[in-house]
Chains A and B, each alone.
Chain A
Amino acid sequence: MAESVGRNHPRSEWLARAMVWSAAALVTVTFCCILGNILWQGLSHISWTFLTAPPRNAGREGGIGPILVSTGLILGVCLSVSLPIGIGAAVLLSEFTADDSVFGGLTRRSLDVLSGVPSIVFGLFGNAFFSKTLGLGFSILSGGLTLACMVLPILIRATEEGFRAVPQDYRLSAAALGLSRTTTLFHLLLPAAVPGLLVGLVLGVGRAIAETAALIFTSGYVDRMPASLMDSGRALSIHIFDLSMNVSGGDANAYASALVLVAALLMINSASDWAMDHWLQRRIVFA
């Protein structure tokens, strides 16, 4: 709604217009500075060798091959645990729980709190529970399970939205035809709710890849190619952190790694935007 108003603009209208445009300009300039800097400094170091070779000299030279593999494995563990639990919980909350049930209310509230918990606290928890108590030590498994806890609220919320978008008529006609709830769920509702699910998946993956603090004390720092899930592995975000803070002269490769990470996330976010625009009516906004 941008309509032109009459001639006699009082001063406050011009001031407001100036303020709004300045704010937008400031944000745009800042963003271009940051992204431009990373692009400019990092692009020259990216090559196929960079993406596949192992790091040498503490990461100053070489590439990020094993690191990409570790990141992928951590992500894999995270998703394979959080997807079934998340979808199951979402199905229960949206399909089989009354709106005023105590169990449903408690679960939802605890998920709300969970989505606000700082990532470093997840790191502490992961370290205490997965690494120490369950004895997994510094491992990809440990890191992946911690990330699964972080990603769960996002998945559940998005899947619930997906189910909410399915019209009530589907359920009523299925019941009228004498179909069991399970059948209705698997054959009718889940397929219809897939868009919401996919959106949640994409959002969750985006959050997981960007995570650093939760992984430092759970999946560790080792930058070799991991041999199993119990091995420690370094995620891409941690590699950037290490190169910039602990390795002098590591800036060049840090820029390149940052560019790879940002590019991957940009692709994922575009996919989620596209998915949301095309499938979901409402926009899901997260912290």
Chain B
Amino acid sequence: MKDLVKFRPWLPLEDRDACCVPSEFITSGKLSLQYGETSAFKDVSLAINKGCITAVVGPSGCGKTSFLLCLNRLIDLVPNARVSGTLTINRQDILSPATDLIRLRRQVGMIFQKPNPFPLSIRRNIEFPLHEHGVKDREQRAHILESTLREVGLFEEVKDRLDAPALSLSGGQQQRLCIARAIALAPEVLLFDEPCSALDPISSGVVEDLIAEMRGRYTVVIVTHNLAQARRIADYVAIFWTQDGAGKLIESGTAAAVFESPTHALTAAYIGGARG
């Protein structure tokens, strides 16, 4: 059984490897979201670099999750939601009505706060989306199943009961299954909405380690209000805060810059624990 608790050496932020040559992959220009009359967030202009882990942090209610929902157009499911501004992924405008949502959501995967495996077997949870996205060959699906389960460290734990219900797994295992399910579609971007907040500390650590290992292979955007977590795994940080009744992006930059030498007074207060 995989070693559940792994102690990462805590390097000072400047000493960590650079994740990549910074190249913009996701760009939002003055992105604003309104739910009916209320503003969720306003004028968010953020650049997210390819292959890097970007943490979106801030106290609850300042639009972080809503921002995430815009990135894969899941915001369309919310009635009364209106998005304005620009949002491009790999230089393609994803807010245009002509966007192929199915293709977008294959390329941009999402993992939710509460693990939500389907009420099917473990095997079907991963193979069903694969089948729907065109992987008709059974052997190929089985191969992808095994490799993604290995990637999230679940294979050894569940290889003897792949046809057991996914809901019989523990919370941490379910969340890892959801990650495997998203990875199986070979996305380029992975969105995490507070993936560890519903898990116990040990599972939380396992999932966090998993996310950290994605550096370089996926572009990760992770919403978290756990500053220590952001400090541990993020390459870039974006700070959201509520101002004038709407969420605003008040600061963004490399993790080192934001944590060690924040420019905004609120950021300093938030990081220091004095606010939020």
| Interface of A toward B, CB cutoff 8 Å | 1, 3-8
Contact = CB atoms under 8 A, between A and B. Distances in A.
A12 to B, nearest CB: 10
Given A4-B101, A6-B99, A6-B101, 13 more contacts: A1-B77, A3-B76, A3-B77, A5-B101, A5-B102, A6-B100, A6-B102, A6-B103, A7-B98, A7-B100, A8-B100, A8-B102, A8-B103
Nearest to B98: A7
B268 to A, nearest CB: 41
B104 interface: yes
A1 B78 CA distance: 9
A4 B77 CA distance: 9
A251 B147 CA distance: 73
Nearest to B104: A6
Nearest to B106: A6
A6 B100 CA distance: 4
A260 B112 CA distance: 55
Contacts of B76: 3-4
A173 B101 CA distance: 54
Contacts of A3: 76-77
Contacts of A7: 98, 100
Which secondary structure dominates chain A's binding surface? loop
Contacts of B100: 6-8
A1 B77 CA distance: 7
14 contacts: A1-B77, A3-B76, A3-B77, A4-B101, A5-B102, A6-B99, A6-B100, A6-B101, A6-B102, A6-B103, A7-B98, A7-B100, A8-B102, A8-B103
B191 to A, nearest CB: 18
Nearest to B100: A6
Interface string B86-109: 000000000000111111100000
B265 to A, nearest CB: 41
Interface string B62-84: 00000000000000110000000
Nearest to A1: B77
A6 B99 CA distance: 7
Interface string B120-144: 0000000000000000000000000
Contacts of B99: 6
Nearest to B77: A3
Contacts of B77: 1, 3
A5 B102 CA distance: 7
Contacts of A4: 76, 101
A7 B103 CA distance: 9
Nearest to B101: A6
A14 to B, nearest CB: 14
Contacts of A1: 77
B73 to A, nearest CB: 9
A4 B104 CA distance: 13
Contacts of B104: 6
A6 B73 CA distance: 11
A7 B104 CA distance: 11
Nearest to B103: A6
Contacts of A6: 99-104
A5 to B, nearest CB: 6
Contacts of B101: 4-6
Nearest to A7: B100
Contacts of A8: 100, 102-103
Nearest to A5: B101
Interface string B162-198: 0000000000000000000000000000000000000
A8 B98 CA distance: 11
A3 B99 CA distance: 14
A57 B104 CA distance: 75
Nearest to A12: B132
Among A1, A3, A6, the one with the most B-chain Cβ atoms within 10 Å of its Cβ is A6
Nearest to B97: A4
Closest A-B pairs by Cβ, 6 of them: A6-B100, A6-B101, A6-B102, A7-B100, A3-B76, A3-B77
A268 B79 CA distance: 33
A25 B226 CA distance: 52
A5 B100 CA distance: 8
A5 B76 CA distance: 10
A5 B105 CA distance: 10
A3 B102 CA distance: 12
A8 to B, nearest CB: 6
Nearest to B132: A10
A4 B97 CA distance: 10
Nearest to B105: A6
A17 to B, nearest CB: 15
A6 B101 CA distance: 4
Among B76, B98, B101, B104, the one with the most A-chain Cβ atoms within 10 Å of its Cβ is B101
B44 to A, nearest CB: 23
Nearest to B99: A6
B143 to A, nearest CB: 23
